[in-house]
Amino acid sequence: MKLNLKAFVSRTGGLDSAQLCGWSVALAALAYWADVIAGSHAAQPLAPAALSASIFGAGAFNAAAWVMVMTRLLAPAPARPAPATLAVPLLGSALICVLPIGIALAPGLLLLGLALLLHTDLPASRREAGLLLLGLGVGWGWPFLRVAHAAIGHLDAQAVGFIVRLSGLDVLVQGNIVAHGPFSIEILPACASSSPLAEVALAYVVVALYCRHRLSKADLPWLLASLLFSIVLTEIRLSLMVPSWADWNWWHNGPGVTVYELIALSGAGLFPWLAARPQPVPKALPA
């Protein structure tokens, strides 16, 4: 069956691009936060304490990204009829976002983000919203790639073994387990160095856009540096857990978590800030 694009456009009732984007993003936001709240498994998920715990638990950069998406959608935009190339993916993402299976939200947000980002007719504000939604989609789907994180966990164990041996400790590495004498740690998918990378990438986009920086290919080295910083930090933290149960407990459950999170947060904010710095204008040489 041939798709008649003109007929489809006329059937959307002349709903303009900005309105369609607004409705689609509102639905995605509703599904996102409803998933976050339902995923808290609190006995009373709508009680104020549980609600605030859910929102803060979702991560500061996720909340900031949604606020930035909304502010960009409220920016004025010319009223143009939504073409089928925009309307179809937006409606598709809306249907996907209805599904309550957690993982479904990831393709829904990715489709929505890509539709806004790649549609060159949309104003810059909508395309920036698309980039943020893309980051949110990747961030949402990232933990579901557990098989990949489990495989990375094996590589992490090798890296940790190498680092710890440099400090003179004798360790045995087997799969994702690093053993030091009778004590051993197991690097599970959530502990793998790949696990925080989606959040780091989202943090990069959020901070860069907050600094009113227009993202371009020149950001790629900064983004890669930010990801590398996160990987190295995770390997160091895992290595510090290996010597004994007390060390593991300090870095896994104790004050070490705060130390790690503060350093990770600094790194995630520093690289995009450095990329967004205004470049000094070179002084003109005298003729």
Partner 1 sequence: MKNLVRCGFLLLMLLAIHARVTWYRLGQASPPPLTTVAERLTALGVRNDGPDQNGLIEATAPGCAIRFPVGMFALDGGEDMRMAEFVPPDSVPLYIYLGKVRTARRELHPASAWFNANLAAMAGARATLPPTKLVLAALPGQCQQLAALNWASVSQ
Residues forming contacts to partner 1 in the complex (CB under 8 A) are 11-15, 20, 23-24, 26-27, 30-31, 34-35, 38, 41, 45, 94-95, 97-101, 146-147, 149-151, 153, 174-177, 186, 188-189
- Please state, in angstroms and rounded to a whole number, the distance separating the CA atoms of residues 132 and 135: 5
Q: How far is the CB of 75 from partner 1 (least distance, A)?
A: 20
Torsion from C-alpha of 48, 258, 143, 173, nearest 10 degrees: -150
Residue number, 108 or 139, with CB nearest to partner 1:
108
Residue closer to partner 1 by CB (options 45, 256) is 45
- Minimum CB separation from partner 1 for residue 263, in Å? 25
Based on CB atoms, which residue is closest to partner 1, 11 or 80? Answer: 11
Shortest distance, CB of residue 78 to partner 1, whole angstroms? Answer: 17
Cα distance between residue 178 and residue 191, in whole Å: 13
Q: How far is the CB of 194 from partner 1 (least distance, A)?
A: 12
DSSP state of 100: -
The residue among 175 and 221 lying less far from partner 1, judged by its C-beta, is: 175
Specify which residues 117 forms β-bridges with. Answer: none
| DSSP string of 66-91, one letter each residue | HHHHHHHHHS-----BPPHHHHHHHH
Q: Is the CB of 144 or the CB of 167 nearer to partner 1? A: 144
> What's the one-letter identity of residue 231?
I
CB of 221 to partner 1, least distance (A): 32
Closest of 13, 166, 1 to residue 82, by C-alpha: 13
